Amino acid sequence: MNLEGKITPEQAKRIAEHQRNVERSSRRKQISDVNKRFRRTGKNNRGHVRRKDWTDEAYRPEDEHDFDPLERVMPRDEQDRRRMVEEAAFQTPARDDATDETAATPLGRQGLVISAAGLSAQVEMDGEQVDCTVRGLMTELDTGFLNPVAVGDRVLVAEDGSGGWVVETVLPRTTLLSRPDPILAPRQLVIAANVDQLLIVSSWREPDIWLELIDRYLIAAERNGILPVICINKVDLIDDESEYHAALQPYVDLGCHILRTSAVTGVGVDELREGLEGSSTVVVGLSGTGKSSLLSAVQPDLQLRTSEISDFSGQGRHTTTRAQLLKLDGGGYVADTPGIREFGMAGLTLGELPAYFPEIDAVAAACRFSNCMHVTEPGCAVDAAAEEGLIPESRLHSYRLIWDELPV
Ligand SMILES: Nc1nc2c(ncn2[C@@H]2O[C@H](COP(=O)(O)OP(=O)(O)O)[C@@H](O)[C@H]2O)c(=O)[nH]1
Ligand SMILES: [Mg+2]
Ligand SMILES: [Zn+2]
């Protein structure tokens, strides 16, 4: 993160480079070369089968919340209402007038929110951490989110007159990651603000790599303007290198930045440390994949609150939405989080989905129907390309699983 509230030219360059890579993906080129062939054949009218076996339910931890299964049987207007709330939540990143207000009346000192829960927040100001309350003026109506202040927020803090501190204003956010509230969904909670990197941690084994979750996080990163970095941990448990490469090849083709780490052997930890330095990074991934271990390896004295979070079970699930910003010696911040599938997906529409799967979208022009969604339609070139091994099976699988969940 950058405390000036802007993405640095270096970070902007990296994001632009990532986006260019996605567009230029060699696989995509290869696919478009064979487009014509599929246009002619138009075979494969297989019906789409909803498969759930890919996702290993056994590894889904307590703190993950599935997409609301009721949505499918909900009355239409209720679906619409929920959708509108989601969209409003996603599109209201900050109060526009915040900067002007500051300029007009000096409301206080600027600080960075290190942790936040409800109407209390820990704020770092001039290297010092103070506990603050949050002025009750910032309501859900103003911000579109249930919580007024989140980790990573830059805020203005004033003395409350009795020795305490009050967060008066949240400065406009550059980026934002949110998730549906576990109980009040689809109303959204902000998980972290002003983040510039999303470190997607997946273990190779124990638990097995979960590609669908990686694909979801890639979407979340891209649509929120955050640079994704895929980190495959526990590479000490790889026993078949070719299997590893086959699983990761789709992401190599997309031009993703991929780290290969082991918190046990120390492989890749230096590279990870370098990647984190100078940025503000949110770490996401299933519990048990080694997020805390990796952060400890990067910097042994990081005060990891994560065990506290993952040990927490039972009714107090709201605690899992807490994240804490940890300061890195080399500059920058990291926030560890529990695994949340719906991260950053609020308001995603069916029509937008293909754009997040460029290797699928690249073939779409050859589908029989111009509005083909590549799910059950006859003459789908994506289906045909997948049969030929030109589209990674795992990516198409993720696409269809996410497609199934999006409101029509
Ligand atoms: N074999 C192996 N085990 C690891 C590695 N990293 C973490 N672990 C183990 O995986 C378990 C979960 O790690 P933890 O850091 O708590 O995961 P988190 O829930 O993602 O924070 C612990 O028992 C770690 O010792 C690794 O690189 N290799
Ligand atoms: Mg942890
Ligand atoms: Zn199609």
Quick: pLDDT tens for 372-391.
Answer: 999 999 999 999 999 999 99
* pLDDT reading at 49 higher than 80: no
Instruction: Classify residue 80: in a domain, yes or no.
Output: no
Contact 172, 154 (CB under 8 A): no
Q: Per-residue pLDDT for 69 more than 50?
A: no
352: left (phi over 0), alpha (psi -120 to 50) or beta: alpha
- Is residue 5 a part of any domain in this protein? no
What CA–CA distance (Å, rounded) separates 45 from 378? Answer: 4
Q: Are residues 50 and 100 in the same domain?
A: no
**Lowest-confidence pick of 21-25, 57-61, 104-108, 231-235:** 57-61
Same structural domain, 194 and 300: yes
Whole-number Å distance, alpha carbon 42 to ligand 2 midpoint, is 48
pLDDT at position 385 is 95
Whether 159 and 240 share a structural domain: no
In this structure, are 120 and 232 located in the same domain? Answer: no
Nearest-5° angle of CA 70, CA 73, CA 74?
80
- DSSP-derived letter for residue 46 is P
pLDDT band at 179, cuts 50/70/90? confident
Q: In the predicted model, what is the mean pLDDT of the chain?
A: 77
137 and 168, same structural domain? Answer: yes
Which pair of structure tokens corresponds to residue 136?
């009750």
Which ligand is in closest contact with the Cα of 201? 1
Domain with 277 in it: what CATH number?
A: 3.40.50.300
Which range is most confident: 22-31, 141-150, 340-349? 141-150
Supply the residue whose CA is at minimum distance from atom 14 of ligand 1.
290
pLDDT for res 323 = 76
Q: Give domain status of residue 2, yes or no.
A: no
Looking at the fold, whether 225 and 315 belong to one and the same domain comes out as yes
Q: 237 and 126 share a domain?
A: no
Q: How far, in Å, from the CA of 86 to the mean position of ligand 3? A: 28
Domain boundary among 336, 369, 397: 336
- pTM value is 0.74
What pLDDT digit, counting tens, does each position of 121-136 carry?
999 998 899 999 998 7
CA distances from 149 to 88, 97, 98, 173, 307 (A): 17, 16, 14, 11, 23
Whole-number pLDDT of residue 136: 73
Of 11, 1, 277, nearest to 150 by C-alpha is 1
Query: Among 10-24, 30-44, 114-128, 385-399, where is mean pLDDT lowest?
Result: 30-44
Q: How far is the CA of 122 from the centre of ligand 3 (A)?
A: 50
Q: What is the mean pLDDT of residues 37-66?
A: 35
Domain that holds residue 19: 10-55+347-405
Spatial contact of 171 and 258, defined as CB atoms under 8 Å apart: no
**CB 30: neighbour CB atoms within 10 A?**
14
Average pLDDT score over residue span 195-209: 97
Residues 358-372 pLDDT 10s: 999 999 999 999 999
| 299 vs 34: CA distance, rounded Å | 48
Which ligand 1 atom is at minimum distance from the Cα of 263?
A: 27
Residue 39 has pLDDT above 90, yes or no: no
**Which atom of ligand 1 lies nearest, measured to the CA of 286?**
20
Q: Does 20 score more than 90 pLDDT?
A: no
Pocket of ligand 1 from Cβ distances under 6 Å: 233-234, 236-237, 262-264, 287-293, 306, 310
At 387 the pLDDT is 94
CB atoms within 10 A of CB 173: 21
Looking at residue 187, what is its pLDDT? Answer: 84
- Identify whether 3 is part of a domain: no
- How many angstroms does the Cα of residue 245 sit away from the middle of ligand 2? 26
pLDDT surpassing 70 at residue 137: no
Ligand nearest to the CA of 357: 3
Are residues 359 and 309 part of one domain?
no
Instruction: Tell me how far the alpha carbon of residue 384 lies from the centroid of ligand 3, in angstroms.
Output: 9
Nearest CA to ligand 1 atom 26: 234
Residues 6+ apart with CB under 8 A from 162: none
- Same domain (yes/no): 210, 135: no
- In the three-class reduction of DSSP (H, G, I as helix; E, B as strand; rest coil), residue 3 is classed as coil
Please tell me the number of the ligand nearest to residue 375's CA.
Answer: 3
pLDDT-derived band at 138 (thresholds 50, 70, 90) equals low
pLDDT tens per residue, range 90-126: 444 443 333 433 332 366 899 999 999 888 999 999 8
Ligand 1 atom closest to the CA of 262, numbered from 1 = 27
Report CA(311)–ligand 2 centroid distance (Å).
9
Domain count of the fold of the chain = 3
Minimum-distance ligand to the CA of 261?
1
Mutation probe of ligand 1 site: the residue of 244, 267, 293 with most atoms within 8 A of C-beta: 293
**Region 280-293: what's the mean pLDDT?**
93
Closest ligand 1 atom to 233 CA = 27
Higher pLDDT, 133 or 139: 133
Q: Whose CA is closest to atom 9 on ligand 1?
A: 290
Has residue 327 been placed in a domain? yes
Which atom of ligand 1 has the smallest separation from the CA of 206? 10
The pLDDT of residue 181 is 81
List Cα–Cα distances, 399 to 157, 214, 225, in angstroms.
44, 12, 20
* Ligand 2 centroid from CA 370, angstroms: 45
Q: How far is the CA of 265 from the centre of ligand 1 (A)?
A: 12
Q: Supply the DSSP string of 127-179, one letter for each residue.
A: TEEEEEEE-TT--HHHHSSS-S--BT-EEEEEE-SSS-EEEEEEPPPS-EEEE
Query: What tokens were used for 145?
Result: 């989110």
Q: What per-residue confidence (pLDDT) applies to 10?
A: 65
The pair of structure tokens assigned to 19 is 């986006």
